[in-house]
């Protein structure tokens, strides 16, 4: 009841916005006990952000990655602190390795000809998990833990709004899913 809530603007489709947000947060000189990275787009048509990156990859993963990097010092000073990366079970249906088994970074920010919305989403969520695991490995000795979570199968939200097929699928599944 004594909590003070203050909204701050952050656009994950703009790395400049992420940087401005981090600077504004740091200027408040307050601790950061928990950082929940939960924003996502799903089923979006191919487009590039102002940073010339495919939008699903940037919004779902890279924007969060950059934000955590910019706020790492605040998280360390706030120890014990925690980062929570909201991912998805769909991360299991993709890979980011080439045919020889090596990481292929060209698979992350897909070109228009190689783009499929579901694949882009799955890969971005796999990146969230890999990042969270590595972040935990690096920062847990400093009192900062990182976990990735799956919020539940097809929780109903408006994330499916970009394509009518996804809307139909989510509508049919809604009686059997968790609510927000």
Specify if 42 maps to a domain.
yes
User: Where does 1-157 have alpha helices with state H?
Assistant: 15-27, 55-57, 63-77, 117-139
Q: What percent of the chain has pLDDT over 70?
A: 77
Specify if 130 maps to a domain.
yes
Query: Per the confidence metrics, is the pTM higher than 0.85?
Result: no
**pLDDT (average), residues 146-166:** 66
pLDDT over 60 (residue 73): yes
Q: How confident is the model at residue 64 (pLDDT cuts 50, 70, 90)?
A: very high
Q: What is the pLDDT of residues 131-143, one digit of tens each?
A: 999 999 999 999 9
Specify if 6 maps to a domain.
no
Specify if 71 maps to a domain.
yes
Q: Which residues pair with 146 in a beta bridge?
A: 83
DSSP 109: S
Cβ(170)–Cβ(156) under 8 Å? yes
Residue 32 structural domain: 15-149
Specify if 154 maps to a domain.
no
Number of domains the chain is built from: 1
Specify if 70 maps to a domain.
yes
**Ordered DSSP codes for 19-64:** HHHHHHHHHTT----EEEE-----SPPP-B-TTSSBHHHIIIIIHH
Neighbours of 178 (CB within 10 A): 11
Pick from 30-34, 52-56, 161-165: least confident: 161-165
Number of H helices, E strands in the chain: 5, 3
Q: Catalytic annotation on 121?
A: yes
Interhelix angle 63-77/15-27, nearest 10 degrees:
20
Specify if 156 maps to a domain.
no
Cβ(172)–Cβ(146) under 8 Å? no
pLDDT over 80 (residue 165): no
Specify if 140 maps to a domain.
yes
Neighbours of 43 (CB within 10 A): 20
pLDDT over 70 (residue 93): no
Q: How confident is the model at residue 75 (pLDDT cuts 50, 70, 90)?
A: very high
**pLDDT (average), residues 87-114:** 72
**pLDDT higher for 156 or 145?**
145
**CATH number for position 44:** 3.40.50.720
Q: Is 159 left (phi over 0), alpha (psi -120 to 50) or beta?
A: alpha
**Which is the catalytic residue, given 66, 115, 121, 166?**
121
Q: How confident is the model at residue 92 (pLDDT cuts 50, 70, 90)?
A: low
């Amino acid at each position: 009841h004594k909590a003070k809530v203050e909204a701050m603007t952050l656009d994950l489709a703009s790395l400049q916005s992420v940087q401005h947000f981090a600077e504004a947060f740091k200027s408040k000189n307050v601790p950061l006990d928990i950082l929940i990275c939960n924003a996502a787009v799903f089923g979006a048509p191919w487009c590039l952000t102002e940073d010339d990156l495919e939008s699903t990859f940037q919004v779902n993963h890279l924007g969060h990655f950059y934000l955590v990097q910019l706020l790492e010092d605040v998280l360390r000073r706030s120890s014990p602190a925690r980062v929570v990366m909201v991912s998805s079970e769909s991360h299991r249906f993709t890979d980011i390795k080439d045919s020889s088994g090596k990481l292929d970074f060209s698979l992350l920010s897909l070109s228009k000809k190689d783009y499929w919305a579901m694949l882009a989403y799955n890969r971005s969520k796999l990146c969230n998990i890999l990042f969270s695991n590595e972040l935990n490995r690096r920062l847990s000795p400093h009192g900062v833990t990182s976990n990735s979570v799956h919020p539940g199968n097809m929780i109903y939200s408006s994330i499916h709004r970009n394509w009518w097929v996804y809307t139909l699928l989510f509508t049919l599944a809604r009686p059997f899913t968790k609510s927000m």
